[in-house]
Structure formats: C-alpha cells, structure tokens
Amino acid sequence: MKYLIDKIGKINTSVLFICIIFLILELIGHRHGETSIEDILFFPAIFGFLSCIFIFGIAISLRSLFMKDEDYYDE
Amino acid sequence: MMNNFPPGFVMIIGALLIPFLPHIIRQIYMLVLILTSAYTLTLGFGIHTKITLMDFEFILFQSDPLTLPFAIIFHVAAVLNIMYGAHVKLWNQHMAIMSYSGAAIAAVHAGDLFTLFVWWEATAITSVFLIFAGKTKRSYGAAFRYLIVQIGSGMFLLAGAILLMSETGNAEFRNFDINSLYGQLIFVAFGIKAAFPLLNGWLQDAYPEASEIGTVALSVFTTKLAVFCFAKSFAGTDILILIGVIMTFFPMFFAIIENDLRRVLTYCLNSQLGFMIVAIGIGTELAINGAVAHAIVHILYKGLLFMGMGAVLYRTSTCKASELGGLFKYMPITAICTIIGAVSLSAFPLFSGFVTKTLILSALGKEGQVFAYFMLLFSSAGVLIYSGIRVPFFAFFANESKIKSKEAPLNMIIAMFSASILCILIGILPSYFYNILPYQIHYQPYDFSHIVGQIQLLGFSALAFICLWHFKIYPSEINSTILNSDWIYRKMLPGVCLPLLNLVKNLNQKFYKFLEYLFVTVKNIFANTMIRNKVFDREVGQDTLVVVQLFIVILVLIFMWKIYF
C-alpha cells in the first residue's frame, strides 16, 4: 500500500481503490443499463476507459491539422 | 402597473440609471431590480401583457410551464453575476449585464416572433459590450464578429417571422414545422445562437475574449435562450438528435488540444448544449424535462467553472494552461469551488449534473435511440478528461506554481460559494428540483444501476487520464491557436475572395487601359486620315479624301445592314 502511494500518489491510489470497490459492487449487486449491451459485466468501466483513450488519441492526432501558432489570426 | 411589465423589462429600463449611482448603492439597486423583475413570475401562467401597434398584436408577456424554469434560473444567474462582478468599480459592465439579463428574460416571455426578435437582437447588442470590456485588440475583433453573427441570426428570425405572418396571418411563437420555409429560417436563427456544428465559431471566438465577469454572464443567457426556443418550437424534430450528437462529439477533441482554459470551457459548453438539443429532438415529456433540467444545472456549474477561471484570470492575468499550475496553494477556495463545478459537470452522483444527465440518458434509452444513447455516454466519459479533470488540474495542480497570486476577492468567493451550494443541493435533493420542470414526473436518479454504472464510467475515465499522465503520454501544453469553424470567415473566405477581388480589379483596370488604347488608336487614325489630309502618312488631295470617307461610310452601312437584317 505504502509502495503504491509512494509510486503513484495519494489521489491516484484512492481513484484506483474507488474503481476496484465499484467493480466488486457490481459483482455483489445486479446492475442493469438502459440497453441490453450495457448489461455486459463491467461494461461502463471498459467503455469509460477505452472512450478516454480513444478521445485522447484522436485529439492528439488532430493537433497537426488544427493547431497553429498563437498569433495565427493576428498576422 | 408593475404587473403589466414583462419580466426583465424593468431590468432593462432600470439599467439606464446605473451610470449615475455610486458603487455600493449601484449593487443594491441592481439586486432590487432583479427582485422586482422576479416578482412578476408570481402572476401564474397565461398571457399577461399585449399591446397593439399598426394593427399587430404584440404579446409581450406570456408565461407557461416551459418559461418558468428558464425565468427562475435566469434571475438566479443574474443575481450570481451581480455578486461576482461587485468588485468592478466601472459602471459599463454592470449596465451591460443588467440589460443583457433583462433582454434574455424578456425574450423567454415573448408570445410572438416579432417581440422575440426585438429581445433577440437586444441580447446581442447589450452583450457585445462585455466582449469589448476584454480591452484587447483581439477582443475588439471578436466583439465585432460576434455582433455580426448574432445580428445575422436575428435577420433569419425576422425573415422567418415575416414569411410566417404572410402565410398564416399571425406570428405566434409556437411549435413550427421544419418542412416549411419559415420553419427552416427560424430553425437556422435558433441554430446559430445554439452554436450548431459549423455555426459555432462565434462561441469559441468571442466568449474567452470577454472580461472575467463578462464571460460568466455570456455563458448563461444566449445559448440557453436558444435551447428554450428549440424546446418551445421544435420539440420532437428528429434532425435535432443527429445535430445534437454531432455537437456533443466534435468539440471534445478541440477541447483537449486547446490551451486557453476558458476556451476549453466554451468547447465543453458546446458539447453540453448537444445533450440538450438531443433531448429536445426526442421530444417526450421525460426528454424535455431532461433538456430543461440540464440547461438549468448547466448554467450553474458552467457559470461556476467560468467564475473559477475568471478569478484565476483576474489574479494572474492569464488563463493559459501552459502558463498556469500549482495555484491551489494561493487560491484554495477558488480551487475547491472550481472542483465542485467540474465534479457537477462530470455528473458524479450527489452533484447536479448527475440528476439531469441520467434523465436525458433514460429518455434516450426508453425511446430506443441506441446510437444517440451511446454517443452521449461516450461524451459523458470524455467530459471528465477534457474538462472535468483538465481545467482544475492544469490551473491549480499540474506542475509547480509558476505564478504567485492572492485568493479571489470576497465577492467572487461568495458568488462561487453560492453556485457551489446550489450545485450540491440540486444533486442531493433532486425531487424538489424536478418540481419546477415543465412536466410532472416521478423519476429516481439514485438507484444501484445508475450509481454503480456512473462511478465505474467516471472512475475508469479518470484512471485513463492518470495512466496517460503517469506514463508521460499526455503531451505538455503548447501556446497555440486551434482552428475552429470561425476559420471559414476569418481565413478561408478572405483567402479565396481577396485574390478574386484583386483579379477582378486588375482585369477591370486592364479593360479600361485597352479601351483607352483603342480610343487613342482610332483617334490617331482619324487624325491622320481625315483631319490632316493624310491617308496612312501620304499627302492626298481633297477628292481622294472624299472617296476614302465614302468608302468607310459604305463599309459601315454594309456592316450594319448585315448585323440588323
């Protein structure tokens, strides 16, 4: 535990623990979604993680296309 | 007499006195104006004020279950704005905010399109002074572009209203058919103000250039007025679902690479507007309630985030992620309030965003809109990393403190604290909040599935951010400009049209030169042949000249005869 806090920090460790707790909670109770696909085990967790990686990946690749100098419009 | 004034009207008229009052009295006076305006909301539903001008009946004050929630939140936001801007000694921004809020509130209560048009343009004209108050060269440019776009949207509205009037004989503000021409014109007018895809350039262009208190006020009224208009006139229009999905989707990518944190928030605003537009497109009672509820809480938490960033801007003179960081040490209260705004925006359970987003998502699920549902879920996950974590993280935590500053002024703290309390109260007591919505519903956002699902979604999104940051994949912030749809009229059109204009100008000049050359040549020929008794440089007698002239006349006659017969 101490190793984890030293390695990734207090806040990050607590986020990790909250994630694990709510994964366990899903195993205990019955979670159902608005659509049937959502009923897959740990769907929101997987969906959330992959969505963020995807958004990040696309955004960074868009940098070369849409990112210009700060005074681009002032020239 | 006071009862006959539409809500907001007293704020606009009362704003005229603001320049003549001393600072403290001015603040109290503005709060009294807002309370007086809010008093008219107690009159109940129905048409309260009409005037007839030039045989046309203008409905100035009409209220119904849809206008009430917007009127309430606009008044609350106006009070928060006054508190937030109380440290500013100059009167001009106070006057602008008061008349702008008044115009937006009056617009909500308009019963016909011509009255709406007047207040629609009034919101544009009054709010532009808040952008001018940015007092930079960029803000002046942005203000003019903002004004042109907003006035332009009013022109679409006016054209639609006139067409509607000529076709149906009245211009009542009601549900419109998207398949009619007037419906389409009105749709575009509302769409510009709601920052639809490709019509959104003004939003990201102008809002971050306004003064720190101006951006807070701007974020409240204009776009939510458009949402109200859509809810009133185009509820259940299918195309809105697609437009809303695009709106929630694309601004996310721009928000991640944008460096100016207030601009990040405008992208986020745009994305959240998409949620409301999708819900209006669904059009069921649950969905309309979701849209209205989301508009209300969005005003609060987005206002709170803009207040936090405004306070940072006020104290440090910058809002760029690349220049900020580590401010938590100096501005802890601002940081905590901003985090509450960010947590509400991300829709954590017990905060305001959760009780409205679940409403919209449930409405989508019930109607079987699977595609839209997953896109909004995707956006709900994304909002955490592009705004929920990013804005407070880069302002208050990331890196070591580069700028030293003081905590925000007391009035700013009071405003932020009040907005934070409202965000939490709505999150904790949703049933009271649901009571002010247009339709009576029995909805329970706090059940096992919603809570576990939402925390898993957000927790793992946060984990994704932590991984990217920890493994140094998340790139450092760079001072830059991110191209948006305003590029079309700021760079592309001038880039294409100016060379074309120059070409036409050059061709025109060349044509005139050619005409001049032709004229001189003909003149010389005549001078050489006729006048000086010469034909092609040879001396000739009078009889030869007559023959030559006759020959020319005959040629001309034959030529003309050939042409005309």
CA B188 to chain A, closest CA, distance in angstroms equals 26
Q: How many CA atoms lie within 13 A of B273 on its CB side?
A: 32
**B138:A74 CB<8 A:** yes
What distance in Å separates the CA atoms of residue B195 and residue B254, rounded to the nearest whole number?
Answer: 15
With a cut of 60, say whether residue B537 has pLDDT above it. Answer: no
**B361:A34 CB<8 A:** yes
Higher pLDDT, A15 or B565: A15
pLDDT single digits (tens) B252-289:
999 998 999 999 999 999 999 999 999 999 999 999 99
With a cut of 90, say whether residue B100 has pLDDT above it. Answer: yes
What distance in Å separates the CA atoms of residue B9 and residue B107, rounded to the nearest whole number?
Answer: 10
What distance in Å separates the CA atoms of residue B260 and residue B206, rounded to the nearest whole number?
Answer: 13
Tokens of B11: 């704020």
Amino acid at B15: A
- A48–B contact, CB cutoff 8 A: yes
CA B374 to chain A, closest CA, distance in angstroms equals 9
What distance in Å separates the CA atoms of residue B190 and residue B194, rounded to the nearest whole number?
Answer: 6
Tokens of B187: 């749709």
With a cut of 80, say whether residue B519 has pLDDT above it. Answer: yes
| Interface mutation target, options B271, B443, B481, chain A, most CBs of A under 10 Å | B481
- A31–B contact, CB cutoff 8 A: yes
What distance in Å separates the CA atoms of residue A53 and residue A45, rounded to the nearest whole number?
Answer: 13
User: Dihedral of the CA atoms B429, B430, B433, B434 (nearest 10)?
Assistant: -150
Contacts of A55 in chain B (CB under 8 A): 252-253, 256, 382, 385-386
**B365:A33 CB<8 A:** yes
Determine contact, residues B192/B152, Cβ cutoff 8 Å.
Answer: yes
**A49:B373 CB<8 A:** no
| Interface mutation target, options B456, B478, B482, chain A, most CBs of A under 10 Å | B456
**B365:A30 CB<8 A:** no
What distance in Å separates the CA atoms of residue B437 and residue B429, rounded to the nearest whole number?
Answer: 14
- A42–B contact, CB cutoff 8 A: yes
Cross-strand partners of B538: B535
What distance in Å separates the CA atoms of residue B128 and residue A54, rounded to the nearest whole number?
Answer: 38
What distance in Å separates the CA atoms of residue B399 and residue B105, rounded to the nearest whole number?
Answer: 43
Q: How many CA atoms lie within 13 A of B73 on its CB side?
A: 31
Listed range (B167-176, B238-247, B397-406) with the worst mean pLDDT? B397-406
CA A74 to chain B, closest CA, distance in angstroms equals 8
With a cut of 60, say whether residue B338 has pLDDT above it. Answer: yes
**B452:A31 CB<8 A:** yes
**A33:B449 CB<8 A:** yes
Tell me whether residue B539 is exposed, middle or buried, using C-beta atoms within 10 angstroms of its C-beta: 0 to 12, 13 to 18, 19 or more: exposed
User: Dihedral of the CA atoms B433, B437, B439, B441 (nearest 10)?
Assistant: -20
pLDDT at B237: 92
pLDDT at B278: 96
- The whole-number average pLDDT for the span B395-410 is 84
pLDDT single digits (tens) B19-51:
999 999 999 999 999 999 999 888 889 888 888
> Which pLDDT band holds residue B416 (cuts at 50, 70, 90)?
very high
pLDDT at B14: 94
pLDDT single digits (tens) B427-484:
999 999 999 999 988 888 999 999 999 999 999 999 999 998 888 888 778 888 888 8
Beta pairing class for B534-535 and B481-482: unpaired
Helix (H) or strand (E) holding B321: none
Contacts of B460 in chain A (CB under 8 A): 19, 44-46, 48-49, 52
Mean pLDDT of chain B: 91
> Which pLDDT band holds residue B536 (cuts at 50, 70, 90)?
low
ipTM over 0.90: yes
With a cut of 80, say whether residue B550 has pLDDT above it. Answer: yes
Considering only alpha carbons, which residue of chain B is nearest residue A68? B481
Cα B481 from chain centroid (whole Å): 19
**A66:B483 CB<8 A:** yes
Closest CA to B397 of B467, B490, B491, B466: B466
- The whole-number average pLDDT for the span B480-500 is 88
Contacts of A18 in chain B (CB under 8 A): 455, 459
What distance in Å separates the CA atoms of residue B122 and residue B104, rounded to the nearest whole number?
Answer: 8
Q: Which of A27-31, B361-365, B527-531 has the highest mean pLDDT?
A: B361-365
**Residues of chain A by 3-state class (helix, strand, coil), percent to 5:** 70, 5, 25
pLDDT at B38: 93
Classified as helix, coil or strand, B316 is helix
Tell me whether residue A20 is exposed, middle or buried, using C-beta atoms within 10 angstroms of its C-beta: 0 to 12, 13 to 18, 19 or more: exposed
The 10 Å CB-count burial string (b at 16+, else e) for B210-239 is bbbbbbbbbbbbbbbbbbbbbbbbbbebee
Beta pairing class for B46-53 and B534-535: unpaired
**B252:A55 CB<8 A:** yes
